[in-house]
Amino acid sequence: MKKTHFFLSVLALGLFSSCQNNDEISNANPSQAEVHDKTVQVTNHDGRPFSTGNGSAYSKFVSGPGGGVLMQGFYWDVPDGGNWWNTVTDKLSAWSTAGISAVWLPPASKAQNGAYSMGYDPTDYFDFGNFNQNGSVETRFGSRAELEALITKAHTENMQVYADIVINHNSGGQSEANPYTGTNTWTNFSGVASGKFPRSYNDFYKNAYGNNDEGAFGGFPDLCHANPYVQDWLWGRDDSVGKYYKNVMKFDGWRFDYVKGFGPWVVNTWNLNVGGFSVGELWDSNVNTLESWANNANSSVFDFAAYYKMDEAFDNGNLNVLNDDMMWKRNPYKAVTFVANHDTDIIYNKMPAYAYILTHEGYPTIFYRDYEEWLNKDKLNNLIWIHNNKATGTTAILYTDNDEYVARRNGYNGNPGLVVYINSSSSWQERWVETNWSNQQIKDFTGNSTWYPTTQGDKWVKIQCPPNSYSVWSLNQ
């Protein structure tokens, strides 16, 4: 959530990994393991999806050896007026064809600011734009019917849909006398229009269960996960929030907002009871903190350690920092990598950053505005194709200095892997590197280099990279 929008905000703190093939994808990261349609995607010589020019070329997402890519399907303050679900629905076919495997949606339920809320101030978890409360029937994004149509469309495209879950705090309750504070608090949610998960003062800190948990946010009522009644409504009962979202609304996974506000056991218990992919927003650059949370939560986590290292590397001319520790290096199956999101957008030189996350291990995320508005979509589609088809196996860093970075994906189960070369200098660079391949011709699948070198018997070869750009090399096949 947005730090600069106090009234709506929730400082969003918070895999599917591409390091192996589908046989080794765990149930915690189902977005690529549960692909049903095997439509073949036609590509051009650079690996980008082929088009006949009349828009007729089309294929559903199919998981390649490197996996898939997550699209963040919104940004802060998307247009209000109730049309966002339709906007996303209209883009799903193109995203699927490009190789996007899943879409993460903003909080879908009615929040305090009704038709103007981004959803991070939740009031009624079961009002998806079908009840007249908080000043509107629809949410900012649209109606329940439009949301359900979006999810159905995504599933026909072999894409999964992840719900943004805000369970640290609530907003929009009525005032009531609170014996634990000796004052009135805005904790009376007994009149929620759905009739589901009514709440009162004892469901928020401080209460009979204590004064506080791990963290509160912005003065909003802090939901008490220690209360069995709250647990039952969040994940326990058949019509709990989690099970309703999964079984009725058909969401496939969860992005947990501001997980610093409650213990990792909450996400762990949700996952055990509800299932589906999950990722936590733990806004912390310390890789030890990220890894500990992910292990205790039994969940993926956004790789903020990689995020801040990429900013230093690509914006400050210090590619050596890419040698430093990151979550994807600790456990790629629990690392969701990203270049920007609705809360934070500090990396200026984004294309090398996308080249980095789309060729390395972890579950890479594309930010909506980068893809649809700000960057070169053809170049992003090319990198997505490279990720899904070539980015396999473990990673070996071959060379780094301030201006150059070269790494190899070692391949897996017959897939040859790749070599990625990133150059932040103002001139062309060349370098001898050790590849996975003996006596075979390779090419740059980005098209940035026109070389077609042949590797030596000892697997060494000279490759090149243009200034302020990148190249990605693999077998010419």
- What is the 3-class SS of the chain, one letter each residue? CCCCCCCCCCCCCCCCCCCCCHHHCCCCCCCCCCCCCCCCCCECCCCCECCCCCCCCCCCCCCECCECEEEECCCCCCCCCCCHHHHHHHHHHHHHHHCEEEEEECCCCEECCHHHCCCCCEEECCCCCCCCECCECCECCECHHHHHHHHHHHHHCCCEEEEEECCCECCCCEEEEECCCCEEEEEECCCCCCCCCCCCHHHEECECCECCCCCCCCCCCEECCCCHHHHHHHHHCCCCHHHHHHHCCCCCEEEECCHHHCCHHHHHHHHHHHCCEEEECCCCCCHHHHHHHHHHHCCEEECHHHHHHHHHHHHCCCHHHHHCCCHHHHCHHHEEECCCCCCCCCCCCHHHHHHHHCCCCCEEEEEHHHHHHHCCHHHHHHHHHHHHHHCCCCEEEEEECCCEEEEEECCECCECCEEEEEECCCCCEEEEEECCCCCCEEEECCCCCCCCCECCCCCEEEEEECCCEEEEEEECC
Which CA distances in Å does 87 have to 84, 181, 252, 312? 5, 45, 20, 34
Q: Is 281 among the residues known to form the active site? A: yes
Region at 250 (left for phi over 0; alpha for psi -120 to 50; beta for the rest): left
Six-digit token string for 244 = 């309703």
Q: Which residue in the list 124, 138, 257, 303 is annotated as catalytic?
A: 257
Q: Is 458 among the residues known to form the active site? A: no
Q: Which long-range contacts (CB under 8 A, 24 or more apart) does 319-326 make?
A: 319/400, 319/401, 319/402, 319/403, 319/404, 319/405, 319/422, 319/424, 320/400, 320/401, 320/402, 322/356, 322/397, 322/400, 322/405, 323/397, 323/400, 325/287, 326/287
Residue 168 is assigned to a ligand binding site? yes
Q: Give the list of residues 6+ apart from residue 183 with CB closer than 8 angstroms, or none.
A: none
Residue 403 is assigned to a ligand binding site? yes
Residue 252 is assigned to a ligand binding site? no
Residue 413 is assigned to a ligand binding site? no
Q: Which residue in the list 124, 138, 164, 281 is annotated as catalytic?
A: 281
Binding residue positions = 168, 232, 238, 403
**Catalytic (active-site) positions:** 257, 281
Binding-site residues from annotation for Ca(2+): 168, 232, 238, 403
